[in-house]
Amino acid sequence: MQAGEAVLRQAANPVVVSDIRSRDTQDLIEWMRETMYDAPGVGLAAPQVGLPLQLAVIEDKAEYIKDNPDAAKERERKPVPFHVIINPKIAIDESTKIEFFEGCLSFAGFTAVVPRARKVRVECLDHKGEQRIIDASGWYARILQHEIDHLHGRLYLDRMYPRTLMSMENFNRFWKDKSIPEVRKLISWER
């Protein structure tokens, strides 16, 4: 689904716990996993595939990180194994905000700087319907916030600094090797 689809702007419905282990839900998880890999992406929420369910898949593979170790360090980005979050509740540590470029499979071809909390705690169910608590920081915290936003009908467009919105082509040509402080000097996004 791309921006403009109603399902991306509506709050998703909780998944019934008794349905989590069903063949339909397990098939959905596997299909979403394959879709995320094909994109490629690091997360995919059910509304992005047209289903208004509070379910997302997440994985940040080492191969996505290895080509730019400086950027990975700046973003506090480390590999995150594949997992599923269902009916998540997020607690955001507002004391530290960090800003980085963010993209979305549902707004393909674009990126912008988005402020996010550096640390979060997520309480959710996993793919087996078991309770899970995730304490995350850095890039992993950003992924969780991004995917959980999808479950509440929000896109990164709602949080971005509008002056930083650009095509991925121009990001790759001019900006991808610049640090956020360098970008801030060249594009003033203070309001």
Catalytic site positions:
147
The DSSP code for 94 is E
Which pair of tokens denotes residue 41?
């992406």
**CA 43 remoteness from chain centre:** 5
DSSP per-residue letters across 110-129 = EEEEEEEEEEEEEEEE-TTS
Q: Report the alpha-carbon distance of residue 156 to residue 107 in Å, rounded.
A: 9
**CA 173 remoteness from chain centre:** 23
Q: Where are the alpha helices (DSSP H) in the chain?
A: 23-38, 62-65, 69-75, 138-151, 168-170, 180-186
